[in-house]
Chain A
Amino acid sequence: MASPDNLVLENITLCAGQTRVLNQVSLTVPLEGITLLSGRNGAGKSTVLRACLDLVRPEKGQILIDGLPPGMACERIGYMPQGLSDAALMIPAISHVMAAMDGARWGVPVRFGQRKREAERLLALTGALSFSKRPLGHLSGGERQRVCLAQALAGQPGLLLLDEPLAALDHDAQQQIVALLVSLTQTLGVSILMTSHETAALEGKVTRVLALENGELHVRI
């Protein structure tokens, strides 16, 4: 799927508990390559990402992704939440990817062979094919991130929203994941909007930076 053109925030006021994350922000951000959403701890970066997925609703204003509200654009977006999931660690990695491929449709899975081949293709893209049959709980942090990325890519999204994909990884693993993200933008043409505190690992790799501070959002090229 082609990557979305842009992310539009129209007079958005967004809150996380008592904190006002965005205060009447209007902004149009072209989505191409890797866009880094930066900000201090507790600034509300994850909340902004979740608002882009319709997981939290803004108090005022609207968000448009490629001209569509988040609830209607969800099929075009792949999501990787913050932190490693501790759910279903005993299920093989490939099953996590297969479940995401048509998980929003009712009924039992069909075309098992075709879905398996597609899952293997995605796992190969993220460098996770060699451990795809191992239970998720037997994988290292970096390996699990690769599986989660493959899961986010299920359904051929044009935009990936990645919440702290470099957290809790050592320097080498961070470099490998960043190289993988750059490669995905080039080979698949997907856009990435991600949060990260590991700015050093991303130096020279991001197209633009969105700085979230005191309820305001600024674009820095």
Chain B
Amino acid sequence: MFEFEFMRHAFLGCTLVSVLAGTVGWFLSLRRQAFAAHALSHIGFSGAAGAVWLGVSPLFGMIAFSLLAGLAIGSEGEGRGKIPPQRDSTIGLVLAASLGLGTWFLHEANGASSMATTLLFGDVLGIDTPTLFILAGVTALCLLGLVFLGRPLLFSSLTPEVARARGVPVRLTSLGFMAVAALACSACAEVSGALLAFSLMIGPAATALRLGLCPAMGLLVSVLLALVLSWGGLMLSWITDIPIPFWIGLGAGIFYGLANLWTRLRTN
């Protein structure tokens, strides 16, 4: 299968996206923001639809829309004192507004049904060289962002109130992280589509967290599982002709189920 250029591109794209999904997804799951991962990729779909209407690259539209939405979601912060953040409500409202816009954009972009299908389900086999460069740039930018935010992000994710008391700029950290997450979701949607982008972000990360690992090990396992899922999905898709998002979604569920079983057996 590696004799074909599109397959080599697909594997490279999956590698970049998996590294990103594994790391960003771990923090999203730790912060209980799986819904944000789900929403951001759908919001990216609306941006991509807008870009199609305007005649520019869908990936740029996806990134721009996700970034704006990520900042809106991040502005919710970590709550105050005994009042928890209303993250789910904020995410739901931003998602609803974005999908409304996306529907309008698709309506305005004539003959958009095939484009909509591509955006929703991804087209990993259609990744060209310029897209690979963009994915590499987005991955590098996100990883640099995570390295910079590292310690305050981890501290405020574990105990936000204590972190704030120690002088951590929790709101700024949250905003920065959501910007990184928005970029990452756009990149993931390029491989597995807007509908299932979050499966690559949340499946491996949730599995790693379920295993009760320390942050460093959890991040490593999350990235490795994301690589296994995307590469495995690509190979199985090649063999069976079933779309890659199916294999990623199924694999994510199986990994989590196995981790759950192992944890229960170990605890008992």
Contacts and interface: CB of A to CB of B under 8 A. Distances in A.
Interface residues of A, number: 41
Contacts of B164: 53, 55
Contacts of B215: 91, 95, 99
Interface stretch (A6-14, A26-34, A80-88, A208-216): A80-88
A148 to B, nearest CB: 8
Most chain B CB within 10 A, of A82, A100, A105, is at A100
Contact of A87 (B158, B213, B216): B158
Contact of A103 (B81, B154, B216): B154
A79 B166 CA distance: 8
A85 B214 contact: no
Contact of A109 (B151, B157, B168): B151
B214 A87 contact: no
A103 B263 CA distance: 29
B209 A90 contact: yes
A34 B152 CA distance: 30
A107 B166 contact: no
B110 interface: no
B30 A74 contact: no
A121 interface: no
B155 interface: yes
A108 B147 contact: yes
A94 interface: yes
Interface string A140-163: 000000000001100100000100
B238 to A, nearest CB: 35
A96 B147 contact: no
A152 B161 CA distance: 12
A103 B209 contact: no
Contact of B160 (A75, A77, A87): A87
Contacts of B30: 88, 91
Nearest to A16: B81
Nearest to B209: A90
Contacts of A77: 165
A104 B149 contact: no
B159 A151 contact: yes
A55 B147 contact: no
Contacts of A102: 151
B212 interface: yes
B162 A104 contact: no
A151 B155 CA distance: 11
Contacts of B216: 112
A55 B167 CA distance: 9
A82 B82 CA distance: 9
Shortest beta-carbon contacts, A-B, top 8: A103-B155, A108-B150, A79-B165, A135-B212, A53-B165, A74-B167, A81-B161, A88-B158
